[in-house]
Amino acid sequence: MKSAPHRNLDSDTYEISLVGISKSFGGVAALSDIALKIRAGEIHSLVGENGAGKSTLGKIISGITTPDSGTLSLGGQEMSFGSPRDALAHGIVTIAQELAIVPALTVAENVLLGDEPRARGFIKRRELRRRFDELAKKVGFEFSSDTIAGTLSIADQQKVEILRALSRNASVIIMDEPTAALSRIESHALHEVIRSLAAEGKTVILISHFLSEVLSLSDTITVLRDGQLIKTMAASEVTEDGLIELMLGRTLGALYPAKTHPKFNSPSVMFVNNLSAPGVSNAWLSLRAGEILGIAGLVGSGRSELARAIFQDSPAFSGSITVNGAVLAGKSPRVALQKQVVMIPESRKDSGLLLGRSIQENITLSSLEKMSKWGWILRSQESKITKQALELVKVKSAGAKQKVSALSGGNQQKVLFARMLLNSPRVLIADEPTRGVDVGSKRAIYDLLTDLAKDGLGIIVISSDLEEVLGLAHRVVVMRQGRIVTELTGRAMNEQAVLEAAFAEQI
């Protein structure tokens, strides 16, 4: 994978130099005494677990946050940025996780937003288009300037942001988790863009959870842990395991728990027979008790759509689903829950959690009827059940009355597991169970899934992280364009085979 053309980095031209940077939020140190030098024209990655301080560091460089102490120099000159605008004026641009695109405007209008060529208050449209085309050509993006930005894929929207950054003559581009929402192909495309930016002499600061991405792209990697800078090193000097060890301060052991195969006589819990639903055509599937079935495929291949159809969140056009011999067909997830089929949705913030409410309310939400009488919530029973559920999924919190938004991503995910486990499931579908979860907590979720399977649940794991699917599942099906195209078990279940099936006909 290591194909990045490493540039000559012997020169002492440091673009950015930080000395003694510290920052605390409400008494908790987010960064302490950071000293970091970033060379001009390099790709420098910041890695660390959630809460390690990498995003805070990015925000200090881009002027969004001001440090409590320490100095920031740019090209040898000491700076003090009061706002992102100050940083922007010095050529530092951030491309955040949440994109700032105006969906109703065209690509060209978005790129030159706030900087449109104008005459007497009117925008000179032809001039606008000309400037855009020039810029896009220079970077090698193929865009029609008149495309409405809202219709683009997320990867393309990211390119729009990059163009916008370049149009402001950015010399330093900070990217916070740029590929978190991208499919594999889109990620590759973005990697090429990042490499070409660096080749042009731009400095790229990359904040990412994906270590393989970090290793293949970066010239230099800085590891942060608990707000401290652990080590800065050349990417060629370190391996993925080495990085994990530095990030955690200990060895992780194996990333995946040992697989316990279901007993040869364990019964099937679910059949999906020739199911067609929005985004899914003619899907056949069976699931045994104690089995973890992985669904792989590209984003948009129908994985999540199949999950939603099974969970009765979207209507089936034809075909049927049987769970323990009974037909599962209804108009809402409520019906699936009654049949003991549960799903952990893809996006916990959008479709899982009530962020403003307590951990307890979030956990008991789908099983309140069991802990109430005549619609009256039995509070002592509710807290007892919550406590048991929290122990089961091992959530670390300051108490069940704490707001769920105060938890880390991994613990939030466990809260959703707890909610669903209270429905005494037979079938559990986990869609991207470790998205946005840091390396240390991932293992905890894998352990949970493995333990649940041992207890006899049928589990379906959907993930864009191919290693994760292969590391957890006993059997993998690959989807492409709404269809299940292949099923892999045993030795045939490897990365090569999955990728071939997922990409076939497209390359």
Binding site for other proteins (CB under 8 A): 27, 311, 313, 332-334, 337-338, 343, 345, 350-357, 361, 365-366, 368-369, 372, 375-377, 379, 405, 419, 423
Phi, psi of 76 (to 5 degrees): 85, -5
What are 357's two structure tokens?
């409410």
Nearer of residues 124 and 349 to other proteins, judged by Cβ = 349
Which residue number, 338 or 388, has a Cβ lying nearer to other proteins?
Answer: 338
Work out how close the CB of 420 gets to other proteins at its nearest, in angstroms, rounded to a whole number.
9
Could you tell me the smallest distance in angstroms from the CB atom of residue 365 to other proteins?
Answer: 5
Pairing of strands 14-25, 28-39: antiparallel
The residues, ordered by sequence, that sit 6+ positions from 62 with a Cβ below 8 Å of its Cβ are 81, 84, 87, 92, 93, 94, 174
Helices of type H across 200-238 = 211-217
Nearer to other proteins, 111 or 277 (CB): 277
Please state whether 387 falls in left (phi above 0), alpha (psi between -120 and 50) or beta: alpha
Of 62 and 364, nearer to other proteins (C-beta) is: 364
CB of 75 to other proteins, least distance (A): 35
Residue 389 φ/ψ, nearest 5 degrees: -65, -40
Give whichever of 320 and 351 is closer to other proteins, judged by the CB atom: 351
> What is the smallest separation between the CB atom of 266 and other proteins, expressed in angstroms?
27
Q: Which is nearer to other proteins, 348 or 480 (CB)?
A: 348
* C-alpha–C-alpha distance, residues 204 and 220, integer Å: 11
Q: Which is nearer to other proteins, 235 or 427 (CB)?
A: 427
- Measure the CA–CA gap between 74 and 284, rounded to whole angstroms: 59
- Beta strand pairing call for 220-225 and 43-47: parallel
- Residue 391 burial by Cβ neighbours in a 10 Å radius (0-12, 13-18, 19+): exposed
Q: Tell me how far, at minimum, the Cβ of 394 lies from other proteins, in Å.
A: 22
In the complex, the smallest distance separating the C-beta of residue 281 from other proteins, rounded to whole angstroms, is 24
CB of 312 to other proteins, least distance (A): 10
The structure tokens 């209270």 sit at 422
Residue 297: in which H helix or E strand, if any? Answer: strand 292-297
User: Smallest gap, in angstroms, from Cβ of residue 4 to other proteins?
Assistant: 36
**Of 35 and 377, CB closest to other proteins:** 377
Q: DSSP letter at 422?
A: T
User: Which CB sits closer to other proteins, 123 or 406?
Assistant: 406
Q: Tell me how far apart the alpha carbons of residues 373 and 365 are, in angstroms, rounded to a whole number.
A: 15
Instruction: Compute the least distance from the CB of residue 54 to other proteins, in Å.
Output: 18
CB of 345 to other proteins, least distance (A): 6
- What is the distance in angstroms between the CA of the first residue and the CA of the last residue of the chain? 19
Q: 181 with 154: CB under 8 angstroms?
A: yes
For residue 259, give the DSSP letter: P
The CB-side HSE value for 278 (13 A sphere, CA atoms) comes to: 7
**Contact in structure between 283 and 483 (CB atoms under 8 Å):** yes
Provide the H-helix boundaries in 422-480: 439-454, 466-472
Residue among 259 and 401 whose Cβ is closer to other proteins: 401
- Local structure of residue 403 (DSSP, 8 states): B
